Amino acid sequence: MNRKYLIGLLSAATLGYSILPTYSSKLYQHFHRPVNSHTLYLTFDDGPDPRYTPALLDLLAEYNIKASFFVLAQSAQHHPELITRMKREGHVIGLHSLCHKNGMLQPPVSAFRDFQQAVNIMQRLGVPVRYFRPPWGHWNIISLTQLHRYGMTPVLWDVMAQDWRGDFPAKTIEKRLLRRTQGGDIICLHDGRGENEAPARTIAALQRVLPRWISEGYQFETVNHYEI
């Protein structure tokens, strides 16, 4: 087979499998976001983590803020007590895949198997998952098909502060959140994974940012109240 033809064929397959689903989803959310809103939607990915999630839940409870947690099903399976606490305290629990594999790089069979396993775990934990956020925001045809099969709503984000990075102090995360956020934004942060105990710095940044946002009149809602 001609080498150029093969490269073109692989490029077209990749485009249809993941690139088009990923970027069309991002464009859709960008052009269908709430306007003139004074509401913020705090969301947290990659947990639950027994080192950081309890401290984050304590902080949210201090300000009576409800958030949305997009959990990794394997982590949820290992820490069901944290899932129970999230439910008890009124937070929304969404799915962030089984174990954080990149949808652009995951073969179809693996993507299908992992999605099924993740849903089964959450069902056993008593969580009827209605919302899904793919790792890195990368969709593929399989994840979109499964999403619709289970009646889930896709949720991406408007604001990210790169808080998973190991070289970002809390002050940098704080500045990015304050500079980038406006009313109606879905804010993506992390209570698990990350480098060099990154979630601890995220919590430290929020300890300063939350009272600032509250003083500016912002209110907080979970993604089930997000209207487009």
Structure pTM? 0.87
Cis peptide before 48 (omega within 30 of 0): yes
Q: Do the Cβ atoms of 155 and 223 come closer than 8 Å?
A: yes
Residue range 17-44: mean pLDDT, rounded: 69
Q: Per-residue pLDDT for 90 more than 70?
A: yes
Q: Per-residue pLDDT for 33 more than 80?
A: no
* pLDDT confidence bin for 4, thresholds 50/70/90: very low
**Residues with catalytic function:** 45, 190
Residue range 174-192: mean pLDDT, rounded: 97
Q: Do the Cβ atoms of 177 and 161 come closer than 8 Å?
A: yes
pLDDT for the residue numbered 3 = 46
Token representation of residue 218: 């912002």
As a 3-state breakdown, the chain gives helix, strand, coil percent values, each rounded to 5, of: 50, 10, 35
Q: Do the Cβ atoms of 198 and 44 come closer than 8 Å?
A: no
Q: Per-residue pLDDT for 73 more than 70?
A: yes
CA–CA distances in Å: residue 137 to residues 2, 43, 155, 190, 223? 34, 14, 9, 14, 16
pLDDT tens digits for 138-181?
888 888 899 889 999 999 999 999 999 999 999 999 999 999 99
Residue 146: phi and psi, rounded to 5, are -65, -35
Phi-psi domain of 213 (left: phi exceeds 0; alpha: psi -120 through 50; beta: other)? alpha
Which one-letter DSSP state was computed for residue 15? I
